[in-house]
Amino acid sequence: METRDARLRPQTVAASPTDFRGHYVRRVLLHPLRPQTSAARPSGPASPEELDNLKRRYGFDRSLLEAYAIWLGALPGPADWITVRLDKDGKAEAEVTDDLNPGKSLKLNVGQTGSSLAVTTADGKPRAHWFASLAPLPDDPETATRVLVYRRAFAGLLQAELGDSTTSDKPVWDEIKARLPISAWFGGWSLLLAYAISIPLGVAKALKRDGWFDRGSSQVLFILYSVPGFILAVAMLHLLCFHLGWFPTKGFDWANLSWAGRVHHTIVPLACEMVGAFTALTLFTRNGLLDNLAADYVRTAKAKGLSHRRIVFVHALRNSLIPLAATFGGNLGFFLTGSFLIEVTFNIPGLGLLGYDSLVHRNYPVFLGLLTLSSLAMLIGNIVSDLCVAAVDPRIRFDSIDSVVTAWAGGHC
């Protein structure tokens, strides 16, 4: 059966360039929170029963602090629940998922015991971790008959659980793991090519300062840096994909594409994703090397008779790479978690597009999961940046792991 994304996405990328740009602006800028299809949600007003179930599912039936603690996994929350109606004898039967035997169902009996409700198995034994409580609805004539049967458990971020997607009913981790290789593919190549091109280019510009190569490349770099990545993406999509037909506009099926097909689909989005970081890194390298070539230690090295090549590539360049090393971790986290606008523009099913869809359709579990992953990537990136700076800067030395932790904590507190 064709999925919702499979039905909707090809319509976006197969449109004409003019329609695509207008549709893109409407979706991203004008209606960022409006569902893009009426089929995404049932029509008509929701019943009180449905509203109560939605509130319970999203945690709107409890305070913000309590809901956050349950999502974090610091407090037990309703891991599984169902609502039933008591009969005239004050009893009900509920069929739930067996927490001790995954994949199997379990029938529980609910009955009144004095002033409380008891949950038992078919043989009358109490069922551990299962509870029952009255769950009345507003304006319900049978207020005392609606009962919530639920199981409490620690199931949050601390237990490596992020809940289920509200659109696919799949675990959030499964949604993220399915998209992560695609974003890592684009991010890894963007990071590698950005540094592999910008460092040699920055060195060449510094060594040929104020020459025709330096002036001409600087003008090109400033033009590229001033153009937002998604604007460049729309322009390249119109020219190279729609007009010239050199690159595909749809059909990015990661699992079924060959390596040549993946490269063919990667070239244009990759160029748009890395252009901003590439230009900035090139200018950082050039300006840093020029500053170091004018430093006193370079003049001292020249006076001692060291060759120009050794001065540039052994002494000056290493110190010039310190600013690049300091930003490496941040770029690592950004590239690995996906480029939001680029993936939306080129319809790449990575983490960026997943985050956009979760925001549009109010898929809170997926959005919070991606936010958590991005925050974790940034924290790891900060540690990687500090280690890169320590590797490049000869003035920084760590004698033990304790000094690494102390230096990192002191720099981020």
Percentage of the chain exceeding pLDDT 90: 0
Distance from C-alpha of 230 to C-alpha of 272, rounded to nearest angstrom:
7
Do 191 and 318 have their domain in common? yes
CA–CA dist 336, 373 (Å, integer): 10
191-223 burial string, b = 16+ CB within 10 Å, else e? bebbbeebbebbbbbbbeeeeeebeebbeebee
Name the band, by pLDDT with cuts 50, 70 and 90, for residue 12: very low
Query: Is residue 52 included in any domain, yes or no?
Result: yes
Least confident of 84-98, 136-150, 196-210, 353-367: 136-150
190 and 222 in a single domain? The answer is yes
358 with 211, same domain? yes
Q: What is the pLDDT of residue 338?
A: 59
Q: Can you give the pLDDT at residue 398?
A: 63
- Does some domain include residue 246? yes
198 with 289: CB under 8 angstroms? no
Task: Please check whether residues 251 and 299 belong to one and the same domain.
Answer: yes
Residue 43 clears pLDDT 80, i.e. is over it: no
pTM of the model: 0.72
pLDDT category at 18 given cuts 50, 70, 90 is very low
- How many domains does the structure of the chain reveal? 3
- Residue 34's pLDDT band, with cuts at 50, 70 and 90, is very low
Of 53, 98, 78, nearest to 154 by C-alpha is 78
166 in a structural domain: no
Domain boundary among 105, 125, 159: 159
Each residue's pLDDT tens digit, 255-304: 777 788 778 888 888 888 888 778 888 888 888 888 888 888 888 888 88
221 and 360 belong to one structural domain: yes
CB burial of residue 97 (10 Å; 0-12, 13-18, 19+):
middle
- Which pLDDT value is given to residue 144? 64
**Cα 163 to Cα 175: distance, rounded to the nearest angstrom:** 11
Read off the CATH number of the domain in which 369 is found: 1.10.3720.10
Q: What pLDDT was estimated at residue 70?
A: 85
Torsion sign over Cα 291, 297, 300, 304: negative
Burial label, 69 (beta-carbon count in 10 A; 0-12, 13-18, 19+): middle
State the Cα–Cα distance between residues 202 and 393, nearest whole angstrom.
Answer: 19
Q: Give yes or no: residues 402 and 333 share one domain.
A: yes
**Same structural domain, 26 and 147:** no
Q: Give the pLDDT confidence score for residue 3 in this predicted structure.
A: 43
Report the pLDDT value the prediction gives residue 76, as an integer from 0 to 100: 85
Residue 8 has pLDDT above 70, yes or no: no
Q: What average pLDDT does range 116-141 have in this prediction?
A: 76
Distance of CA 147 to the CA centre of its chain: 38
**Average pLDDT value for the chain:** 76
Same domain, 142 and 195: no
369 belongs to a structural domain: yes
| Domain C-terminal end among 129, 159, 189 | 159
163-187 pLDDT tens trace: 888 888 888 899 998 888 888 888 8
| CB-based burial label for 348 (10 Å; 0-12, 13-18, 19+) | buried
Query: Which residue shows structure tokens 């689909």?
Result: 265
Whether 147 and 256 map to the same domain: the answer is no
User: Which residue type, as a one-letter code, is found at position 390?
Assistant: A
pLDDT-derived band of residue 26, with 50, 70 and 90 as boundaries?
Answer: very low
Is 226 found in the same domain as 82?
Answer: no
> How far is the C-alpha of 151 from the C-alpha of 129, rounded, in Å?
6
In a domain, 260, yes or no: yes
What whole-number distance in Å separates Cα of residue 315 and Cα of residue 169?
Answer: 57
Q: Which of 114, 134, 159 is the last residue of a domain?
A: 159
User: Within a domain: residue 165?
Assistant: no
The predicted structure's pLDDT at residue 406 = 58
Residues 152 and 209 grouped into a single domain: no
Domain of 12?
4-40
Instruction: Determine the average pLDDT of the residues in 315-339.
Output: 77
Domain identity same for 136 and 194: no
User: Residue 402 is encoded by which pair of tokens?
Assistant: 């304790």
Q: Is residue 373, in this structure, part of any structural domain at all?
A: yes
Residues sharing a CB contact under 8 Å with residue 246, sequence separation 6 or more, in sequence order: 240
Provide the pLDDT for residue 13. Answer: 39
**Quick check: is 137 in a domain?**
yes
Contacts 24+ apart (CB under 8 A), 292-300: 292/316, 292/317, 292/319, 292/320, 293/206
